[in-house]
Structure 1
Amino acid sequence: MSERSFDWLSAAELSKLYQRREASPVEVIDAMLVRAAKLQPHLNAFVMIDEAGAKAAAAASEARWQKNQPLSPFDGVPTTIKDTTNVKGWPTRYGSHATDETPVKESAPVAERLQSAGMILLGKSTTPEFGWKALTDSPLQGTTRSPWNLEHSPGGSSGGASSLTAAGINPFNHGNDGGGSIRIPAGHTGLVGLKPSFGRIPQYPADAPFADVISQGVLSRTVLDTAMALNITAGPDARDWRSLPAEPRDYTVGLEAGVRGWKIGLSLDFGHVKADPEVRDLVAAAAKRFEDLGAHVEDVGPLIDPLQLSFEPLWIGSFATRFRQIPTQLHGKLDPGFRAAAEKGLAITLADYAKSYEAKSKLARDLALWHRQYDLLLAPVAPTAGPPVDTLYNSEAFPRWTKGAPYTLPCNLTGQPAASMPAGLTKAGLPVGLQIIGAPRADHVVLQAMRAYESASGWTWPQAKVVETLKGL
């Protein structure tokens, strides 16, 4: 087995090594499986590792590269799929004892497209039960930890994906985002996390709770990898009537065009969110980089009303839909926080739900009109850095609406693209995320801004704090 290290390489860098015959998918997979096995007992980021399947896929990829017939630039690059998402032949457990080991018969479009591009699935990554919260622990899989500090959460609900990516196990990992579940873990682990426009990447099955607010995507360490992954995964699918029409665009084109002359709004609190002072300071300093890049940045003050009053019926009502499908004898095995929210949701009426949808439409309209005057909106990703792993989500100490997802949820309700970029570190050495929000369906604009910021931020991998944390493991 090769002892050569491929830690921290981006997918684009691996692709170049394959093209130049300086590395092979087989040796890369061998090395990454070793690193995965070493770190899994400490991070608990995998639900399962398919060693045999990954090695077979690597051998097939190597043969294609030797014939100069790769399926895509990312042929032979390893990734994982979040365990809320179907992969044919694997079970989908959602972190819950209410599921079983029955293999699913059909892959989700995002998994199909990654595999059709020749990417190698190492396995599945962890999620909180049914992806219900912005931390990653579940009754079935236990607690996932951050490679920045093992006593802190990597965020959620794509916390397994963020932990794997930030630990340098592989270049990027699939996640999805129904309230911040790509952006929050990316922010908590110093990653690049784009929530594409709703429908840009198809969602299937499309009748699941939250299907009308979820976007598929990846958590990566570079903007180029993110753009290249979007090239592979974007486009309509007949199984999802909500999916957007094909856009004849290469998302890597124009990445280096910059933001000079752009008009950008900054809102550190949306008018009601109380972020930690360190978070506010780091995000304000990060926003100033756009001025250095030639953009005009101005504070836009109060922008979005508190979300709980209008949108709690959508949240807990959707949980109640899932809860009704679970046999009574399994209720005692559910995450107590999920169960409490779901049981509260049983009282939601159709009128409550309809009123929330009216508010959703109004919010989408208001922000679309706001973007007629501004190219981007900047804000924090979360009010805090990654909290301790024993934090009780949606408790009095950590309410969902004020501590969990107050900055990220609006863009799920409106469907517009939004991303997390590293804003810096707190005094405790934990990352904070800057959120970059674009106009409806302007994914290419957000990516261009992400790359401009990346070029000016000086943020590189590996990060010293992560290396130090993982050193003795």
Structure 2
Amino acid sequence: MSAASGNLALLSAVELIEGYGAGRFSPVDALEAVLVQLDRLEPELNAFCLLDREGARAQAEASAARWKSGQAQGLLDGVPVSVKDIILTAGWPTLRGSHTINLEQPWSEDGPAVARLREHGAVLFGKTTTPEFAFKGVTDSPLTGITRNPWNTALTPGGSSGGSSASVAAGISPLALATDAGGSVRIPASFAGVFGHKPSGGRVAMYPPTPYATLAGFGPISRTVRDAALMMSVIAQPDLRDWEADPSPSPRYDLELEAGDPSHWRIAFSPTLGYVDVQPEVLEIVENAVETFRSLGAQVDVVDHVFDDPWPTLVSYKRGLTAFAFRNMPASRYPEMDPALVEEIEECRGASLEEHLTAQMERAALARRMADLHQTYDLLLTPTLATPPFEIGRNAPEGYEGRSWYGFTFPFNLTRQPAASVPCGLTRDGLPVGLQIVGPARNDLVVLQAARAFERASPWPLTAPIATRND
């Protein structure tokens, strides 16, 4: 057992599976350890909006019986997994951080990724917090309040999957199912010092349909790359409810993870993409991380300017999507909502079709630009974010109002490329910094292999200090 002080809650999913198979402990033991960790830290973090202790215990007991009889069910049998409160989960309400969702619904259907997790025996124990309708890069909402960063509870864990990142970094969730439409997996992964992977567009099926679907993806947040690859092998299986998703079976990412050979890779490193104002300390940490790939034998070229800032394209494109998504939201509900979201909804009213289609053409040109770049380079490396975590109560770090502090993440939602954030160091104040790894469209495997190569060469702290704090 590799976890500090033998706490099962701090084991990785891979270590839990190995322990179940060897009979050292059971899924019931692991779940109870997770619930103890949750009870200890949730009052400080506010990472969960729903807990189902009894339902989870029933799942864990069923899993324990399967393991005891030698009939484990799938790749994640008995592993506790949390689900972001944007994703349909049968038996639980999906309120999306909003008072405007009608609680009195059947809630009888799993989204595709949740259905795959159940098929593989995962123990679903709770839903994690999100800003209202996952609309911003920090996690607070009128419904659930403020979620805090396990590295420093005065700071944000990022968003919109901030509950996911906080729970994983605190040693509560070995695995978290999250979403990303502009950085919402990678932003919180960077801010909470954990691993997050945004899959290629269409790789993980999504349902019900959403206007943001071509920007969004469902992906794992985890402590290790191996765990994320294992989860990707599960959730990336086809589902006919998503007609735009890749219908081909998922590769076994977990089995192919170690096959990547950095000495065969040609890598572009862009410190700013050509337009992002990065804090010097963040850039220094990321530049040191990039040297790790050189030490592994990769050819790394610095590419200062990759493309012009696509923020205007994203804003124009999302105006139409937002106008459509909230077309039936009455102004009478505005007092219950996040004022920043209300402002965005109102600003998007009356979006024009011409503006939307022009942005779509610009988006296609950006994707072509990246396809051309990947004719030369296997991977693109950048900082994940321009800054370390910042104070709660803000929607952007000081000095970045009116500019995109997450300017490294959103372009690859426009292009639908796979992208991951790996922890790559700590600031002088002890705050996590992330390195973003971007791969060619539809090649999630090379991104995961690169992340695993970096993890082996430059291991990161698997949890925030709060996880092992002696209370």
Per the TM superposition, whether the score is higher than 0.5 is: yes
Change (3 A) 1:108 1:248: closer
Contact 1:307 1:401 in 2 (8 A): no
Indicate the residue corresponding to 2:172 in structure 1.
169
Distance 2:158 2:247 in 1: 32
Indicate the residue corresponding to 2:280 in structure 1.
277
Bigger mean CA offset, 315-324 vs 437-446: 315-324
Alignment of structure 1 residues 163-312 onto 2, 5 Å: 163-206=166-209, 208-247=210-249, 249-257=251-259, 258-312=261-315
Contact 1:290 1:453 in 2 (8 A): yes
Per the TM alignment, residue 248 of structure 1 is displaced from its structure 2 partner at its CA by: 5.7
Change (3 A) 1:212 1:423: same
Match of 1:53 among 31, 52, 55: 55
Alignment of structure 1 residues 371-390 onto 2, 5 Å: 371-390=374-393
Contact 2:319 2:356 in 1 (8 A): no
Change (3 A) 1:311 1:425: same
Contact 1:235 1:243 in 2 (8 A): no
Secondary structure of the structure 2 residue equivalent to 1:176: strand
Indicate the residue corresponding to 2:454 in structure 1.
453
Per the TM alignment, residue 237 of structure 1 is displaced from its structure 2 partner at its CA by: 1.4
Count of residues paired in the alignment: 465
Secondary structure of the structure 1 residue equivalent to 2:253: coil
Q: Unaligned regions of 5+ residues in structure 2, if any?
A: none
Match of 1:105 among 97, 103, 108: 108
Per the TM alignment, residue 325 of structure 1 is displaced from its structure 2 partner at its CA by: 2.3
Contact 1:4 1:31 in 2 (8 A): no
Per the TM alignment, residue 392 of structure 1 is displaced from its structure 2 partner at its CA by: 3.0
Match of 1:70 among 72, 75, 81: 72
Indicate the residue corresponding to 1:136 in structure 2.
139
Change (3 A) 1:260 1:174: same
Distance 2:435 2:418 in 1: 14
Contact 2:45 2:148 in 1 (8 A): yes
Indicate the residue corresponding to 1:148 in structure 2.
151
CA-to-aligned-CA distance 1:30-89 (integer Å, 9 cap, x gap): 221122122111100001100110011111111111111111231010011100110012
Secondary structure of the structure 2 residue equivalent to 1:253: helix
Amino acid at match of 1:28: A
CA-to-aligned-CA distance 1:224-246 (integer Å, 9 cap, x gap): 10111011111221111110131
Change (3 A) 1:442 1:420: same
Distance 1:452 1:299 in 2: 20
Question: Within the alignment, does 1:338 sit opposite 2:341 as a pair?
Answer: yes
Distance 1:197 1:401 in 2: 26
Amino acid at match of 1:320: A
Distance 1:460 1:334 in 2: 37
Q: Percent identity?
A: 42
Indicate the residue corresponding to 1:427 in structure 2.
428
Distance 1:313 1:16 in 2: 49
Distance 2:14 2:452 in 1: 15
Distance 2:129 2:107 in 1: 17
Distance 1:30 1:436 in 2: 35
Question: Within the alignment, does 1:11 sit opposite 2:13 as a pair?
Answer: yes
Secondary structure of the structure 2 residue equivalent to 1:434: strand
Amino acid at match of 1:409: F
Indicate the residue corresponding to 1:437 in structure 2.
438
Per the TM alignment, residue 467 of structure 1 is displaced from its structure 2 partner at its CA by: 4.4
Change (3 A) 1:54 1:367: same
Distance 2:79 2:256 in 1: 24
Contact 1:72 1:118 in 2 (8 A): yes
Moved over 6 A (4+): none
Indicate the residue corresponding to 1:31 in structure 2.
33
CA-based RMSD: 1.6
Distance 2:55 2:95 in 1: 19
Bigger mean CA offset, 340-349 vs 13-22: 340-349
Distance 1:434 1:396 in 2: 22
Per the TM alignment, residue 424 of structure 1 is displaced from its structure 2 partner at its CA by: 0.4
Alignment of structure 1 residues 313-392 onto 2, 5 Å: 313-392=316-395
Contact 1:313 1:345 in 2 (8 A): no
Amino acid at match of 2:39: A
Amino acid at match of 2:149: S
Q: Unaligned regions of 5+ residues in structure 1, if any?
A: none
Amino acid at match of 1:94: R
